[in-house]
Amino acid sequence: MSENINAVRHVSIVGGGTAGWMTAAALAKILEDSDCVITLIESEQIGTVGVGEATLPHLRFFNQRLGIDEPEFMQRVNATYKLGIEFVNWGQQGDSYIHPFGDFGSPINGIPFHHYWLHAHNQGLKNPIGDYSLPIAVCEKNKFAFPAQDNSLASTYSFAYHIDASLYAKFLREYCEARGVIRQEGKVVKVNQDTETGFVTSVEMDSDVTVEGDLFIDCSGFRGLLIEQTLNTGYEHWRHWLPCDRAVAIPCQSAEEPVPYTRATADKAGWRWRIPLQHRVGNGHVYCSDFISDDEAEHSLRQGLGGKPEAEPNFLRFNTGRRKQMWNKNVVAIGLSGGFLEPLESTGIHLIQLGIMKLIEFFPNKEMDKAYVSEFNRVMQMEIERIKDFLILHYNATERDDSEFWNYVRTMSLPDELQRKIDLFRQTGHVVKYQEGLFLEPSWVAVYFGQRARPISVDPRVERFDLPQIKMQLDKLKSQIDAAVLSMPDHLQAIKNLDDPTNDGWKHASMNLYGSH
């Protein structure tokens, strides 16, 4: 592809989990016509985390870029659709709300919808704000249809999938091998570095194979074999704000039809996930070991299982935080090696995808230009920090005082940026806006109101409307939503409809978090 003698000719990826295979697939596609060699090393003996099963709509963009056919993909990974996450017991025991991939109402006279709802609510309106979001209504009725592409109500949402992560890695492995990615099975036992630059030059495996590379992608998981164990890059710990440090996962048989949303149920010292797939249900319990034991965590998870367990419990340990530089010398950390935010909002795979896209955008020459490295690190840090703040909000915006854990997170000190955002919301109902960043206004609105954070004041411009006036508008919106949902097929039927080649709404559906509206 290039006459440039400095061009990267060998990319070596250490790790064959979701991060490793996604990176390999994207590079194989983008470097298809080049003479660049891609090698991926994985060790069956070490295995993968493999629990990342709930995704965000952006993954569809990734798959489409690879040229993957969505119906085939869904069948291969036993996927179901996902329109959001239901949060149970977060604001208070017994509470429940859905954080949807979509918006609530739409602004009127430039004033965000939630001010109108709040004003009506303060005057006695009983309906929760979720009644005015189409994807929430679709979740509640267990239905699914592809969003529309116009500016209508039917375009106000987006969708993602629940997938079997190990099947996805297998699927991508086939994709990669068909495109010439070399797979090396075995354990890396030694890492060699250039004595002058400190760049990683090769890795040696227990099979006596040595794999060289100009660029190394560290997808070795939490251990960060290259980025940390070799380059000592450093890790910024976020345990103070995101104290959960363990998880236990047990898949079980499905006892009921799959719903088009993930469920996250707050527990005594953490929370439990439930991810419906076509063939089974993924379950797990994320918890803080300072407050409960592994046995208690497992017990609580087992009690909540809806069906017969399909495997032995898989215990995982982690430290929330971020690698201080995700790109250091000629090593780029993608996946768990780059940092870990707990899976509350299914952001793990999204961050992998983002890292890959940015790596492609700043694809380096052999000398690893500082400008690329610093921009990559700056943008990745900004993204992960923003997601971090949004996750912390879930713990802190609560009235729960029924356990030590909840007392801690409810009263802990917050990052300044987040404190500022929460203060402004509590005072005025204003949600601080970003241009970029993953979670925008609708997401913050969902969590704030879903978890009982109520502003002291609303925008004074909505105060001139009395309850009947606002209610008339809200009722109209609600009946439009109800009518739209009524015409949709059941979720399971929608999955079956994938066999129908004319059912190709996925091809054009918006891939942002909130739909095209």
Partner 1 sequence: MSNAMNKITIIGGDEHAWSAAARCLVSLRGQNLELTMIDCDAPTTPAVLALDLSAHQFHQAIGIQETSLIKNVGGSYCYGTQYKTADSVFVFTQSPVGELINRVHFHHYIARLKNVGGSVDFSAHSIAVQAGQQNKFSHPQANTALDKLDYTINLDRLRYIHLLRSAVLGLEAATTKIKHLKSSVKSVEYGKEGIVTSLILNSGECIETDFVIDCSGRLVDDQFESWREFLPLDKSLSWVQESTEITPVLNQYNEFDHASLTQTSLPGGRFYRLSYDSEYVSDQQALGLAEQKVGKFAPQFSEQTNHRAGVAKRIWHHNVLNIGPASVYAGHHLFSGLYHTQTAMDRWLSLFPRPGVNAIEANKALAAEYNRQFHVEMAHVRDVHVLIGCRQRNNYPSTLTHRLNLFVGTGRCAFYESDVLEPHQWVNLMLGFGHWPNKTDPLINHLTRTQLENLLERHHAETEQVVAKMPQHDQLLQAIRNAS
Ligand X SMILES: Cc1cc2nc3c(=O)[nH]c(=O)nc-3n(C[C@H](O)[C@H](O)[C@H](O)COP(=O)(O)OP(=O)(O)OC[C@H]3O[C@@H](n4cnc5c(N)ncnc54)[C@H](O)[C@@H]3O)c2cc1C
Active site residues: 82
Q: Is 385 in the site for partner 1 (CB under 8 A)?
A: no
Closer to partner 1 at the Cβ: 6 or 210?
A: 6
- DSSP for 109-168, please give it: TTB-HHHHHHHHHHTT--S-GGGG-HHHHHHHTTB--PPPSSSSGGGSB--EEE--HHHH
Tell me the C-alpha distance between 516 and 147, whole Å. Answer: 9
Tell me the C-alpha distance between 455 and 426, whole Å. Answer: 4
Q: For the beta carbon of residue 316, count every other beta carbon within 10 angstroms.
A: 15
User: Token pair 């297998």 is at which residue?
Assistant: 170
CB of 178 vs ligand X, minimal distance in Å: 20
Interface size with ligand X, residues (CB under 6 A)? 41
CB of 389 vs partner 1, minimal distance in Å: 14
Q: Is 423 in the site for partner 1 (CB under 8 A)?
A: yes
Q: Is 188 in the site for ligand X (CB under 6 A)?
A: yes
Closer to partner 1 at the Cβ: 109 or 303?
A: 109
Tell me the C-alpha distance between 20 and 22, whole Å. Answer: 6
For residue 39, which of 220, 224, 212 has the smallest C-alpha distance? Answer: 212
Q: Which does 459 bind (CB under 5 to 8 A by kind): ligand X, partner 1, none?
A: partner 1
Residue 48 Rama label (left phi>0; alpha psi -120 to 50; beta): beta
Residues 6+ apart with CB under 8 A from 33: 1
Q: Is 50 in the site for ligand X (CB under 6 A)?
A: yes
Handedness of CA 229, 232, 233, 236 (dihedral sign): positive
**Which of the ranges 50-58, 207-215, 231-239, 252-260 carries the binding residues for ligand X, by CB under 6 A?**
50-58
CB 103 within 8 A of CB 133: yes
CB 397 within 8 A of CB 447: yes
CB of 152 vs ligand X, minimal distance in Å: 30
Q: Is 32 in the site for partner 1 (CB under 8 A)?
A: no
Tell me the C-alpha distance between 454 and 449, whole Å. Answer: 7
Q: Is 179 in the site for partner 1 (CB under 8 A)?
A: no
Provide the residue type at 243 as one letter.
P
Tell me the C-alpha distance between 68 and 57, whole Å. Answer: 15
Tell me the C-alpha distance between 90 and 94, whole Å. Answer: 8
**Which of the ranges 13-21, 72-80, 191-199, 419-427 carries the binding residues for partner 1, by CB under 8 A?**
419-427
Q: Which of 12, 39, 43, 254 binds ligand X (CB under 6 A)?
A: 43
Provide the residue type at 461 as one letter.
R
Q: Which of 12, 39, 48, 155 binds ligand X (CB under 6 A)?
A: 48
Q: Is 221 in the site for ligand X (CB under 6 A)?
A: yes
Q: Is 473 in the site for partner 1 (CB under 8 A)?
A: no
Q: Which does 420 bind (CB under 5 to 8 A by kind): ligand X, partner 1, none?
A: partner 1
Closer to ligand X at the Cβ: 173 or 421?
A: 173
Q: Which of 8, 336, 409, 447 binds ligand X (CB under 6 A)?
A: 336
Interface size with partner 1, residues (CB under 8 A)? 38
Tell me the C-alpha distance between 47 and 16, whole Å. Answer: 8
Q: Is 76 in the site for ligand X (CB under 6 A)?
A: no
Closer to ligand X at the Cβ: 45 or 487?
A: 45
The Cα-based distances of 486 to 137, 333, 479, 482 in angstroms read 10, 46, 10, 6
| Site residues, partner 1 (CB under 8 A) | 1-4, 7, 30, 33, 109-111, 361-363, 365, 369-372, 374-375, 378-379, 420, 423-424, 427-428, 430, 432, 434-436, 456-457, 459-461, 464
| Site residues, ligand X (CB under 6 A) | 14-20, 41-43, 46-55, 165, 187-188, 219-221, 223, 225, 247, 284, 286, 316, 318, 335-337, 343, 346, 348-349, 352
